[in-house]
Amino acid sequence: MPNKTFFWFFLPTGLAMILFIGLPIISTGIQSFYAQHDQVVKEVKKCDPFGCTVSIVVDNEETSKIREAKPLGKFNGFGTYTDRNHLAVDEIKKFWNETESFGAFVDQVTNLPFYKALIFTLTYCLFVTPNVLLLGFIIALSLNAVARKIRGPLIFGTILPMIVTPLVGSLVLFWMIDSQGIIGANIQNLMNDPYLSLKSSKTLTWITIIIYGIWHHSPFAFVVFYAALQTVPQEPIEAAIIDGASRFQRIKHIVLPHIYPVVTFVALISLMDNFRVFEPIIGFSAEGSAQSLSWLIYDNLVNEEVILFGSAAATSMMTIIGIAILLAPVLIRTWKEFKTAR
Amino acid sequence: MRKILVTLLFLLFGTSAFADCNIKSGSINILANDFPALRTFVETSKQCKGSADFKVTHSSEHNKIAVPALTANPSEFSARIAANSSIVPLMNQDLIRPLDDLVKKYGKGIQDSQLITIDGKVMAVAFMANTQHLYYREDVLKDLGIAIPKTYEEVVAASEKIRASGKMQYPYAAAYKAGWNLAEEFVNMFIGHGGEFFKSGSAEPNINNAKGVATLNMLKKLSELSNPDYLTHDSEAIKVEWESGNVALMTLWASRSGTLLDDEGDPNITKATKLTGPATVGGGNIPAATLWWDGFTLAKNRSDADAEATFRSLAHAASNKKMVADAADQAVWLVEGFVPGPKSIGVIEAVKMGAKPYPMLPQMGLMHGALGSEIVEFLQGKESAEQALKDVEAAYISKAKEQGFL
């Protein structure tokens, strides 16, 4: 396609992307460098049906004057990024100097909200992404081998987890693993431990969410792989069969190299999706045991009665940077291949 | 002739309730939490909407919508049904209007005690009170010869006895869901221990002390007597546990008593469900509970005509003797003419025992948020009480700095 045609073809999409993705990210970035003005408070008498007390309120007249002068807030630079609820630079320095063993240091650091969330998010990515790829590939191979007649219904059944809304899917599982639900009660019987609860133990909650993630994301990998498998040429495979190659060898030396670009694509998309894990935490009411970066943003925006825009913006920016770092190796590799191909 | 006169008089009195709210114009749009008493309240106010537009949004997510919706100009809602805690963000952002003029003009039946005044200005009109208090199963306690617990130490002892008897595995329940609910339980217990959340006259936190540790230890003891999934249980979930007969002692909102004592569910459990006041803790004399009011506020960013129409229709409900008589079961109404029934025991006892209201401070929401996430690991046995309280204070301080309170 000539560059000029491509430009006109891409223009509407590009404009929409700048408008709806680019500008909001820039605005979020700017917001993350600002904090609220110092609150002007005054002591007043407050009366309610239970009696009167003297306590403080925000002085709205004074505050609105300051706000009008500087609507963005107080410039805070990287202050929000480095505070305890984010990168916690000072705290980490302190822990490093105070703790005696490396284990104790790690314990202290993982107790900080941002690192706690980062560790869960990375663990989730590292377990879910490869398993999704593997499971999706195995399902695609098996479905590709069954008789054409029953393939349709089987494919529909397989992509069902993706059709079910994430929140509904996780809620269904949530009730099943309840200590009185079908899975939860059976596990208690099996282990002979009436106090065992999948929801109260941190490790078990993590495992549940990861299994849910694999269940939910596999159909996506399956659909893409299944489509790719249809394009594998039959001649080399027939030749390999005549040469006496086993099924495993055929997959390893012919099928996989052929669909390799698709595998990269699915890996990229999965990594991005998994890094933003959020719905299962809400669905499983797992806030106590598992927090992800996206959940931190949500928490700052809605769980407090006071909305923390600066905090949420800072975490958002760091999530974007995190995704960029995770994707970098794959992107660099694709770029190199693209260059050598030319 | 006499008959006609009587009929006419009847008609006159029959309609008198509607005569004073002959609203001609304006539009009314209300945002409220979702529980039966509030639905009754809003329905009652709708009766006198006249020719005004009337819309209502009942949502348990009301806290998340309120500030953004009222910040818009004109605001999405003309009124917001708020409580002690949820009025604070509205005050902080200057989103609600003083009601003095409207009260003077249209608030005839509203009692003075219903008015929430801040710095001499009426900011809200309360219509019901709420608190968390104890519920118990009379049959279970009687069988085992346990007296009705008055303190949380007795609640623990009673629960241990019930567990030992083999009747129930997890005899105690309270809404310990990580987040807002769990933090609310901490607030109750901390106040019961006589704690103050902030150093006097400042926004510096003041919970990392002996009272805080005692509070956490009591919460932990209670959690060990609860269903192991307690960190995922909100008020609705423990209500279900109770109705399934799995629980004999419970701390729950007074406003939920109506649904526990209604005709649905096992009649034997309903019959044995009894209410008592909130418990005290650690030898203190004030209950480990906070008093709450629910009342209406009017949006600032809305035309005066809308505010007037909204006030008149809500004031109709906030002074409605018929409503409080008909719905006496649903809430402890603060409206004149309310006769407390057996379902109001909890709140009335709490007031008698001198329970404190939930602190209406501008920075309290940040403290509540920090508590909800940072004490979880202590309950799970992953860190010490001191460490958990240190974490709460540190998390709070970062947030308070960002918000300009420190």
Per-position pLDDT tens, chain A of length 342: 678 898 999 999 999 999 999 999 999 999 999 998 888 888 899 898 888 888 888 888 888 888 888 888 889 889 999 999 899 999 999 999 988 889 889 988 988 999 999 999 999 999 999 999 999 999 999 998 888 889 889 999 888 888 888 888 888 888 888 877 888 888 888 888 877 777 878 888 999 999 999 999 999 999 999 999 999 999 999 999 999 999 999 999 999 999 988 998 899 899 999 999 999 998 888 888 899 999 999 988 876 677 888 999 999 999 999 999 988 888 888 788 878 876
Contact: A289, B228; criterion CB under 8 Å: no
Contact: B398, A35; criterion CB under 8 Å: no
| Domain total of chain A | 2
B64 touches chain A (CB under 8 A): yes
A224: domain CATH number is: 1.10.3720.10
Chain B partners within 8 Å of A56 (Cβ): 361-362
Judge if A161 and A237 occupy the same domain.
Answer: yes
- The reply to whether A106 falls in a domain is no
Q: What's the Cα-to-Cα distance from B148 to each of B143, B248, B258, B282, rounded to whole Å?
A: 12, 11, 21, 17
Give dist(CA A49, CA A30) in Å, integer.
Answer: 44
Q: What's the Cα-to-Cα distance from B375 to each of A197, B378, B391, rounded to whole Å?
A: 19, 5, 8
Chain A partners within 8 Å of B84 (Cβ): 48
Res A342: pLDDT: 62
Chain A partners within 8 Å of B377 (Cβ): 111
B397 touches chain A (CB under 8 A): yes
Judge if A116 and A19 occupy the same domain.
Answer: no
Homologous superfamily (CATH) of B17-129+291-339 is: Periplasmic binding protein-like II (3.40.190.10)
CATH of domain B132-288+350-402: 3.40.190.10
Chain B partners within 8 Å of A76 (Cβ): 402
Nearest residue to A36 via CA among A84, A99, A79:
A79
Q: What's the Cα-to-Cα distance from A176 to each of A85, A172, A183, A206, A336, rounded to whole Å?
A: 34, 6, 5, 16, 47
Res B238: pLDDT: 93
Judge if A252 and A309 occupy the same domain.
Answer: yes
Chain A partners within 8 Å of B116 (Cβ): 46-49
**Minimal Cα–Cα distance from A285 to chain B, Å?**
6
**Minimal Cα–Cα distance from B201 to chain A, Å?**
8
Res B349: pLDDT: 92
Chain B partners within 8 Å of A283 (Cβ): none
Chain A partners within 8 Å of B119 (Cβ): 42, 44-46, 57
Judge if A167 and A46 occupy the same domain.
Answer: no
Which of B116, B119, B169 lies closest to A57 in CB terms?
A: B119
Which of B228, B357, B403 lies closest to A39 in CB terms?
A: B403
- The reply to whether A81 falls in a domain is no
- The reply to whether A305 falls in a domain is yes
Judge if A54 and A202 occupy the same domain.
Answer: no
Residue A147, C-beta contacts closer than 8 angstroms, at least 6 positions apart: none
Chain B partners within 8 Å of A36 (Cβ): 402-404
Judge if A152 and A17 occupy the same domain.
Answer: no
Residues carrying CATH 3.40.190.10, chain B: 17-129+291-339, 132-288+350-402
- The reply to whether A88 falls in a domain is no
Size of interface A-B (CB pairs under 8 A): 169
B116 touches chain A (CB under 8 A): yes
Res B101: pLDDT: 94
pLDDT along chain B (406 residues), means of 10: 50 44 86 90 90 90 87 93 91 92 91 92 94 95 95 96 93 93 95 93 92 96 92 90 93 88 86 94 93 95 94 93 88 90 88 91 91 91 93 93 88
Contact: A41, B401; criterion CB under 8 Å: no
Boundary residue ending a domain (A53, A75, A97)? A75
> Residues B189-220: pLDDT tens digits?
999 999 999 998 789 999 999 999 999 999 99
> Residues B26-82: pLDDT tens digits?
899 999 998 888 999 999 999 888 888 899 999 888 888 898 899 999 999 999 999
Chain B partners within 8 Å of A202 (Cβ): 380, 382
Neighbours of B339 (CB within 10 A): 9
Token couple for B280 = 């005290």
- The reply to whether A336 falls in a domain is yes
Judge whether B63 and B83 are in contact, CB under 8 Å: no
- The reply to whether A50 falls in a domain is yes
Q: Angle between the A256-275 and A202-229 helix axes, to the nearest 10 degrees?
A: 140
Chain B residue with minimum CA distance to A305:
B365
Judge if A158 and A281 occupy the same domain.
Answer: yes
Helix segments in B120-179, DSSP class H: 138-143, 152-165
Contact: B114, A289; criterion CB under 8 Å: no
Give dist(CA A84, CA B399) in Å, integer.
Answer: 9
Contact: B404, A308; criterion CB under 8 Å: no
Chain A partners within 8 Å of B293 (Cβ): 48-50
Contact: A303, B180; criterion CB under 8 Å: yes
B404 touches chain A (CB under 8 A): yes
Judge if A146 and A58 occupy the same domain.
Answer: no
Judge if A44 and A122 occupy the same domain.
Answer: no
B267, HSE (Cβ side, Cα atoms, 13 Å): 1
Candidates B181, B229, B363, B377: best to mutate against A (most CBs of A within 10 A) is: B229
Element (H, E) at A47: strand A41-48
Q: What's the Cα-to-Cα distance from A308 to each of A71, A226, A315, B149, rounded to whole Å?
A: 15, 45, 11, 41
B353 touches chain A (CB under 8 A): no
Contact: B228, A83; criterion CB under 8 Å: no
Domain holding A60, by residue range, is: 3-75
Contact: B404, A80; criterion CB under 8 Å: no
Give dist(CA A133, CA A112) in Å, integer.
Answer: 32
> Residues B173-185: pLDDT tens digits?
999 998 889 999 9
Judge whether A124 and A266 are in contact, CB under 8 Å: no
Judge if A145 and A291 occupy the same domain.
Answer: yes
B200 touches chain A (CB under 8 A): no
Res B14: pLDDT: 42
